[in-house]
Every structure is written in C-alpha cells, then in structure tokens.
Amino acid sequence: MQCDACGALLPAEARFCLSCGTRVPSVPAPDSDPLLEALTKAIGFQYRIERLLGRGGMGAVYLAHELALDRDVAIKVLPPEQAETPQARERFRREARTAARLSHPNIVPLHTFGEVSGLVYFVMGYVAGESLASRLKREGALPSEEARRIFVAMCEALDYAHRRGIVHRDIKPDNILIETGSGTPLLTDFGIAKPALAETQLTTAGQLIGTPHYMSPEQARGQGDIDARSDLYSLGVVAYEMVSGRRPFDANSALDTLTQRLTRDPKPLGSAAAGVPSDLAMAIDRCLQRNPAKRWPDAKSLREALMPSDEEADFSPPARVANTIATALLPLAVVAFAHVRLIAALNPDSGVVKKLTAVLAGAAIAMVLVSVVMAVRLRLQGLDWKSVLMKALQQPGWSRSWYPRAFRRRGDVWDLLPRRLRQYRVAKGLLLAYVWSVFIPLQLWTMWLGQLPTLRQLLLAVTCAGIALMLGLRRRAVAHVQPKLHVNAAAAAALLNTPTWRVSTWRRPPASSLLSGQSPAPPRAGRGPDEAQTTLGDRSL
C-alpha cells in the first residue's frame, strides 16, 4: 500500500503515513457490503439480513428472515445512488405496485414496500431452489413432459397477469424460479412490466426494453405499443430452449440476434429436437411467429392447446347422447344378444328366449334411430360426417384402460405411462370386461337352466386366476409409483385408477414426473447448509 500524498510504502495496517503524517483512508474488507450494512441498520429490527442473493442493474436482492412471522423472505433494494434518480425511483415503485396487484400460485408474491434512510426496498416471497436458467445450464434440454409442465404454469401466470392489464416484457429462464421439493415454477421480476394504465410513460418509442435473446420482434423494433402476444413470443423462446437445449436464434452478439429475429423464421422445433410431441412442437412454433396476429391470441388459448380441459368444451348434449349409445349401450346390447342366441341354441323351444330376442332387437333399433337423430343434429351444428363419427366414438368418461388412439381425448397420456401402470390397467380392463360380459351372464344362465356345471367351475377358476394376476400387477405398479412420488400406498393406488385423459392430474406434479421419467426431490423438513437456494440470481434485477 502506498501513501497518496508522498508515495511512501506503508504497511497494510497503517492508518497514518509514517513519512508525511497524511491520514490513510480505510479500505473496506473484500467481503464488505455497504448496502447490506445500510439495510441492516435501517430495518434490522424487523428482518435479519443473511446474505446477498443477486445484484443487477435495478438493485440488489438479499435473503432475510422476517422476525415477527418467522419466515424467509427476499428483499430487493434500490441503492441510494440510484434512488436519487427520479426515473429509477419511479420504475422501482412501479415494479412494486405491479407485483402487489398479482396474487397467483405461479407468481412470486410481494409482501410490503418501504422507504427508510434513503433506501427504497420491497419484500417478496423467497423461493428456495434454482432458476430455470441454472437448471438448463446444468442439465441441458428437459424431458418433453417436464418442459410442458413448466410451459403450462407460465401460461397460467401470464394469463392471470394479462387479464389485469400487465405485460411482463422480460420473460426469460432467469426470471422463472423452480422451487425445490414441489418443483413449482414461479415467475418473478416485473421490473420492466408494462401496466395498462400507467401514470407516466417511462420508456419512449425506439427504446429497447427486455433481454435481446428473448425479445419479440416488436420489442426488437422498439415499438411502444406491444401487448400480451409479445410475452407469448418470449415464452415460446424459453420453451424452445427447454425442449431442444438451445435458443431458436443464438448469434455471437445481441445485435445479430435481434437482426435474425427481424429477418428470419426460426427452425421448426420438430426438426431441431427429435421426439418432441407434435402438439407441443406446434404450440411452440406458433408462439414464434414474427407477425403477432399469427401467434396465439392469448395465454389461455395456448394453455388449452398444451393441456386440454378434462371435459371437452364443445361436447354438446347431442354428442353426449351419441357417445353414450355408441360406446356403452350398443356394445351391451350386442353382448346381451350374443348370450340370448347362445341360450337359444341350447334351448331352441324356449319362449322366454324368443321374447328376449325381440326385446333386444327392438332396443337396438331404437338406439340406432336415436343415434341417427343425434347425428343429424350435429350435422346441423356444422360438423361433417367424419367429425360426427369421432364425437360418437370418442373416449368416454368411464374409460380407464387402453382405448384406440384415433378416438382418445386430447391430451390423453396413455402412451406416456410407465409400462407397469399400463399392464395393470389393461389387466383390470380385460378382467372387468370378462366378468360383466362372460362370467356373470353365463353363471346366471347355467344356474337358471341347471346345465353345464363344469363350465361354471371353469369360469370361476378363470375369474380367480384373473383376479390374482390383476392384484399382482397392482402391487408391482404401486411399488413402482411410491418411491418415485414419495407418497403412501393409498395415494399411489388412487393414481393407478385416475383416467389417462384427466390431464389436470397427469400434467402436474407429482404425477407428471411419472410421464417424464424424472423423480421429484423428496420433501425435507428443513434447509441444510449445502442445499441449493435460489435466487433471483445474477439476473437483471
């Protein structure tokens, strides 16, 4: 160390120059943080400030413990030198006001805002885990179903924000946090969000707002009138990266990236990443259209394409009647007619059998006539004959086993289930079909007629063997599910019987981990010293 006045060499612990007597200014320790010290002094009676989580252009974020409520929080602070700038101060206030208007399971909540001793800060929920950016850097491309789950959660968060007139404008992996244990994705950092009714305009036309690699084309042009579809473009870039492991445009410089975005269409996701489900690839490709009018109209439409509702919105009463007749009543009538003909062969002179045959034939004719009427009504609604047939044969709500692919409901996850779960479901479906269509009717007929005792015994033996096989497959499936989802046997068994078309269950954690082949981390009672903890990280805060 040298004296600033005379240049004499001084020992590190010197406070005055030994040659000229000039006071040596104290040098802060390498790990000192004046802002942390100022924050501790200002609000230390309410919060125990623990450590820095991240620092960026719009402030710093610290992990703290709220003493009164005994909970961890994240405190974002605008440094005093920036707080003196009216525009920065107003932007910071606006971020707090914007976040305060949002209360959603997939958005980091804001608790309070304050100004004290020249510091402007707000307190928000702390997410223990990591950012999506960190996970992508560590793991590369995510399994398609895991990417879909995060994609859907962000659609729901954006739909909520957009319906309140807020455009985020900075959707990127750094601003998506993944909570440890639950795997819940949360959107954060509304620092440059655009409220619909802003008191003052803090940006001007031509000013670039956002992160170049994730900007929409209209953001890259500096347009001031961007809307919710800009967020969908940015979210599409994030989803493209989640599935393929790389961005659709990734040049050496930000300028090149923006130029490509304005002049070129991205490579279709299906050709950039093999094995991506067609519906997911289509949804992402539509997000990345340069013309906003060609993108999804809103986040709700995108979410519905990614994870259809459990009940089809357009399943009208005529379609329900036609579906019930085609998938349940007519098959039952055919089975009953077959049994009646079998008994007629054994007792050709039975009058009862002839009457039952006539009744069943009449019922079948009536069902066909009703089906024709329903088909005509569906045609009058604008459906073609192929669509009418699809409605009639569509997977019914009671379906729990295999169903022909062409007639499955949108989003059905049968092909994504682990093999052991499919084996159990197929065995159970075949056993139930056998019991109701063969075992019970033949037992009743043979007992009534007093014939074929050997057949009854054979049917009973087959039934017992089928039950034993099904229970064995069920036990094996439960043993497969329990350690993956960290649930008890009852919860695992309940999941085995959940319809594969009930996407609201299968596309969300923890069940979604069975589809993606990824097991969620087991829940932990506390936070250990080596646990990765999140992080608003080194994002632009």
Residue with tokens 């690839």: 281
Give me the mean pLDDT over the 525-539 stretch.
Answer: 38
Name the DSSP class of 381: T
Cα angle: 428, vertex 430, 436; to 5 degrees? 100
Residues across the chain: 541
Whether residue 150 is contained in a domain is answered as yes
Whether residue 537 is contained in a domain is answered as no
Q: Quick check: 293 pLDDT over 80?
A: yes
pLDDT at 9: 66
pLDDT at 516: 56
pLDDT at 197: 44
- Is the same domain home to 326 and 434? no
**Weakest-pLDDT range from 243-257, 491-505, 508-522, 526-540:** 526-540
Rg (CA), the chain: 32
Q: Quick check: 517 pLDDT over 50?
A: no
Q: Spell out where 79-199 has E strands.
A: 110-116, 119-125, 129-131, 166-167, 176-179, 185-187, 194-195
Whether residue 457 is contained in a domain is answered as yes
pTM: 0.67
- Is the same domain home to 104 and 73? yes
CB 141 within 8 A of CB 244: yes
Residue with tokens 């050496």: 252
Q: Helix (H, G, I), strand (E, B), or coil: what is residue 199?
A: coil
| Residue in 159, 170, 174, 189 annotated catalytic | 170
Q: What is the band of 466 on the pLDDT scale with cuts at 50, 70, 90?
A: very high
Q: What is the band of 14 on the pLDDT scale with cuts at 50, 70, 90?
A: low
Q: Quick check: 204 pLDDT over 80?
A: no
Cα gap 179→335, rounded to integer Å: 52
pLDDT at 362: 86
Distance of CA 358 to the CA centre of its chain: 54
**Residues 479, 481, 483, 488, Cα dihedral to 10°:** -80
- Is the same domain home to 134 and 91? no
Q: Quick check: 409 pLDDT over 90?
A: no
- Is the same domain home to 136 and 255? yes
Q: Helix (H, G, I), strand (E, B), or coil: what is residue 294?
A: helix
Examine the fold and report which residue of 254, 278, 306 is the final residue of a domain before the chain moves on: 306
CB 374 within 8 A of CB 323: no
**Weakest-pLDDT range from 225-239, 339-353, 374-388, 404-418:** 339-353
Q: Quick check: 136 pLDDT over 90?
A: yes
What does the DSSP assignment read for 404-432?
A: -GGGPPTT--GGGS-HHHHHHHHHHHHHH
Phi, then psi, of 100 in degrees rounded to 5: -65, -25
pLDDT at 243: 93
- Is the same domain home to 470 and 518? yes
Examine the fold and report which residue of 123, 144, 168 is the final residue of a domain before the chain moves on: 123
Give me the mean pLDDT over the 481-509 stretch.
Answer: 83
Residues 6+ apart with CB under 8 A from 304: none
Q: Quick check: 48 pLDDT over 60?
A: yes
Burial status of residue 141 (CB atoms within 10 A of its CB: 0-12, 13-18, 19 or more): middle
pLDDT at 312: 52
Q: Quick check: 522 pLDDT over 70?
A: no
- Is the same domain home to 432 and 384? no
- Is the same domain home to 77 and 137? no
- Is the same domain home to 271 and 137? yes
Give me the mean pLDDT over the 43-59 stretch.
Answer: 85
Q: What is the band of 286 on the pLDDT scale with cuts at 50, 70, 90?
A: very high
- Is the same domain home to 362 and 433? no
Phi, then psi, of 55 in degrees rounded to 5: -140, 140
Pairing of strands 194-195, 166-167: antiparallel
The string of pLDDT tens digits covering residues 379-388 is 888 888 888 8
CB 481 within 8 A of CB 156: no
Whether residue 86 is contained in a domain is answered as yes
pLDDT at 541: 38
pLDDT at 205: 44
Whether residue 503 is contained in a domain is answered as yes
Whether residue 318 is contained in a domain is answered as yes
Q: Which is more confident, 503 or 280?
A: 280
**Weakest-pLDDT range from 216-230, 321-335, 501-515:** 501-515
Whether residue 405 is contained in a domain is answered as no
- Is the same domain home to 300 and 222? yes
Q: Quick check: 6 pLDDT over 80?
A: no
Give me the mean pLDDT over the 345-372 stretch.
Answer: 81
Examine the fold and report which residue of 394, 421, 449 is the final residue of a domain before the chain moves on: 394
Show the tokens assigned to 356.
């039952």
Q: Which is more confident, 191 or 68?
A: 68
CB 329 within 8 A of CB 337: no
**Weakest-pLDDT range from 4-18, 71-85, 122-136:** 4-18
Give me the mean pLDDT over the 81-100 stretch.
Answer: 82
Domain count, the chain: 5
**Weakest-pLDDT range from 350-359, 427-436, 465-474:** 350-359
CATH number at residue 289: 1.10.510.10
Show the tokens assigned to 44.
């230390």
The string of pLDDT tens digits covering residues 101-119 is 888 999 999 999 888 888 8
Q: Quick check: 137 pLDDT over 70?
A: yes
Cα gap 365→359, rounded to integer Å: 10
- Is the same domain home to 261 and 317? no
- Is the same domain home to 113 and 156? no
H or E stretch at 74: strand 71-78
Show the tokens assigned to 70.
């005994």
Expressed as residue numbers, the domain containing 194 is 129-306
Give me the mean pLDDT over the 525-530 stretch.
Answer: 38
pLDDT at 422: 92
* Catalytic (active site) residue 170: yes
